[in-house]
Amino acid sequence: MPDQVLIFSRFPKKQMVRIGERFDLIDAAGKRPHDVFSAEELANVRAMITAGGQALGANVMEMLPKLGAIVCYGTGYDGVDLAAAKARGVVVGNSPAANAAAVADLAMTLMLAATRRLLAADNYVRSGGWAGGTPSPLMSAPAGLTGARIGIYGMGEIGRKVAARAAAFEMEVGYHSRSRYDLPFSYHSTLSSLVEWCDILIVAVRAGPDTQHIIDAEMLRKLGPEGTLINISRGSVIDQGALTQALRDKVIAAAGLDVYEVEPHKPDALSELPNVVLTPHIGGHTAKSHMAMQDCVIANLTAFFSGRPLAHPVQL
C-alpha cells in the first residue's frame, strides 16, 4: 500500500492528482481531521499536506499520533505552529520559489491596474460613458510609471523578481528587508524610510508575528495621497480596517490586493471602493506554478517516507 498522507486544507481535487499517484491520500477538505475520520483511520497517518497560511496548531497535530512531517503546498508556512512541530519531532517542508515568478507577475498586474485605473476605464467603456463623452474624475491622467519610485518590502525570491520587472518598466527601485544584499537597488534600513521614499509600495515580506499589521494607519499616511499599495504577501501584514479608511479618505491614492486578513474575503466596505483592485489570492495560480509546487510536495514526501531529510525543509 502507498504511504498514507492526510490532506488538511481544502484544495481543488485536480491539484492533488499527481500527488495521489504516488501516495495514498485521505482528504479532510479543510475540516478538523477528527470531524471527518475516526481515530483508527488517523492512527497510521505519518504525513500531511497543508496550505501554509491555514492555522495548524498543536491541537491538530495531536490528532495524528504518528505524524512526522507537515508539507506545505506553496512557499508560505506562517500558519504552522513551528514550535509545536519541533516539540513533537515533526519536520516541516514547503515549496520555496516554486510560484515566485507567477506572484511577481500578479504584483505587476495589480500595480498597472491600480495606477492606470484599469477597472474605471473598463467601466467607462462598458457603461457608455466614453461614447457619450461623460466627464469622469476617475479618468483623469495618472502620473505614469516611468521614473516612478517603487519600494519593495521583502527582498526574497518574489521581491527580486518584482524588482527585475519594475526595472524593465524604467522605474527607480528601492527595498527594505532584514538583510542588505548586493543588488543594484537602493537599500533602506527601515520600513518607514522606504515608505516615505516610494510612490508605490509592494508588500512581498514573509508573514509572521513581527510583521502583523506593520502597515498601519501611520505607514499609510507616510505613503501619502499619491501613493499606491500592492499586497501579494499575506493579509495579516496590513491593518485592513486602516487601509479601508485610508482609501476612503484619499490618504493614499489606490491599492491592489490579492490577500486579505480573512480569506475568502467577503464583500464589505473595502469592496465598495473604486480605487482598489481585488483578486482572490491567485498570485501563484498558474499551471506552471502548480506543477512546480506539486514537484516540491512530492519530493518532500518521497524523502520523508524514504527516511531522508526533506528536499525543501523549513528551519524550525
272 carries an active-site annotation: no
281 carries an active-site annotation: yes
Beta carbons within 10 angstroms of residue 156's beta carbon: 18
| Contact in structure between 7 and 31 (CB atoms under 8 Å) | no
234 carries an active-site annotation: yes
Is residue 234 helix, strand or coil?
coil
Q: One of 165, 281, 290, 312 is an active-site residue; which one?
A: 281
How far is the C-alpha of 287 from the C-alpha of 306, rounded, in Å? 28
Strand 200-203 relative to strand 24-27: parallel, antiparallel, unpaired? unpaired
Strand 4-7 relative to strand 91-93: parallel, antiparallel, unpaired? unpaired
- Does a cis peptide bond (omega within 30 degrees of 0) precede residue 267? no
Q: One of 88, 172, 263, 285 is an active-site residue; which one?
A: 263
Strand 69-72 relative to strand 172-176: parallel, antiparallel, unpaired? unpaired
Residue holding cell 503546498? 73
How far is the C-alpha of 170 from the C-alpha of 152, rounded, in Å? 15
DSSP label at residue 294: H
Q: Is 213 left (phi over 0), alpha (psi -120 to 50) or beta?
A: left
Beta carbons within 10 angstroms of residue 266's beta carbon: 9
Q: One of 234, 265, 290, 312 is an active-site residue; which one?
A: 234
Residue holding cell 519600494? 151
Q: What is the maximal distance between C-alpha atoms in the chain?
A: 69
Active site residues: 234, 263, 281
